[in-house]
């Protein structure tokens, strides 16, 4: 990880190396925290944060789901992210922003009501999440043994830190088996999502992605659906079986970090032509035009720094 100059923490900008917490912070022991992943891209007009308000609003909603009371408004945290980009004086093409809230030091035990809520925002320069080569040629995806928890046992729609233990174990299994990313099924045996991204497939010219029944409501997923529909591509939200995936014409992952990453192989089955497909490439190109400020139709999604 490339360190930056400052982190915003509880309303103040502190030096990167001074943003510390106590080892008995509640979230370290019991896992109740919420995170976001937002990205700023260097456009011709300087850095622009993509769908800033949507991401910050989702952070507040995740906090409400998990009974965390973030003491800052969406507007205050939006402004903090803009100022953080300015103060850090980044130079690269894109910057990843990580707002998060967690329970700090002062209470031990599972009941968390009296634990203080800490809020922080970090930002750093970060390249392609699954590698530059993967963005062009596609990655290898494995359907892992770990499943996405059922709605009766977890809150999958919250971008909560506790949910990512499931993702960590899934991704470890996939990489250990020689793949780059994990794909998880839900408790009914249908595709849920990747370890940190949404899944799309193309069959007979139709773009298909599963519903968010027990998975995060992805902002990038919504963006891709909007883009595709405006391009005249038919989009279906439906359950996808393992067998459907194996005979897809194309497949790709989406997310703030993953952006639009093609999938060339799933469980030793070559997908389509075994490389980035035609519709995937078209959507990928259009997405980068949007986030880098080259498409005026979507400029309302950009917050310029």
CB 131 within 8 A of CB 160: no
Catalytic residue among 142, 157, 159, 171: 159
Which among 245, 173, 166 has a CA at the least distance from the CA of 203?
245
Q: What angle, rounded to 10 degrees, do the helices at 74-88 and 52-65 form?
A: 130
Is 159 an active-site residue?
yes
Give me the active site residues, please: 159
């Amino acid at each position: 990880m490339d360190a930056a100059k400052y982190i915003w923490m509880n309303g103040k900008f502190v030096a990167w190396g001074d943003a510390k917490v106590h080892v008995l912070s509640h979230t370290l022991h019991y896992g109740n925290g919420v995170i976001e992943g937002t990205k700023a891209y260097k456009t011709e007009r300087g850095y622009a944060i993509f769908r800033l308000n949507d991401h910050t609003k989702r952070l507040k909603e995740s906090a409400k789901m998990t009974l965390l009371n973030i003491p800052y408004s969406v507007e205050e945290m939006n402004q903090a992210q803009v100022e953080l980009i300015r103060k850090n004086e980044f130079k690269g093409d894109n910057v990843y922003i990580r707002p998060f809230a967690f329970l700090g030091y002062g209470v031990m035990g599972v009941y968390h009501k009296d634990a203080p809520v800490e809020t922080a925002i970090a930002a750093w320069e970060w390249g392609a999440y699954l590698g530059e080569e993967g963005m062009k040629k596609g990655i290898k995806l494995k359907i892992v043994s770990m499943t996405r928890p059922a709605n009766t046992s977890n809150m999958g729609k919250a971008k909560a830190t506790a949910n990512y233990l499931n993702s960590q174990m899934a991704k470890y299994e996939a990489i250990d088996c020689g793949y780059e990313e994990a794909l998880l099924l839900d408790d009914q045996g249908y595709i849920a999502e990747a370890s940190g991204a949404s899944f799309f497939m193309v069959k007979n010219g139709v773009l298909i992605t599963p519903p968010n029944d027990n998975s995060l409501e992805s902002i990038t997923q919504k963006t891709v659906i909007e883009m595709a529909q405006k391009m005249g591509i038919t989009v279906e939200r439906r359950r996808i079986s393992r067998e459907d995936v194996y005979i897809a014409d194309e497949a790709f992952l989406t997310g703030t970090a993953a952006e639009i990453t093609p999938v060339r192989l799933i469980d030793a089955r070559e997908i389509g032509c075994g490389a980035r497909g035609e519709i995937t490439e078209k959507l990928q190109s259009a997405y980068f035009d949007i986030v880098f400020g080259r498409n005026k139709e979507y400029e309302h999604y950009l917050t310029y720094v």
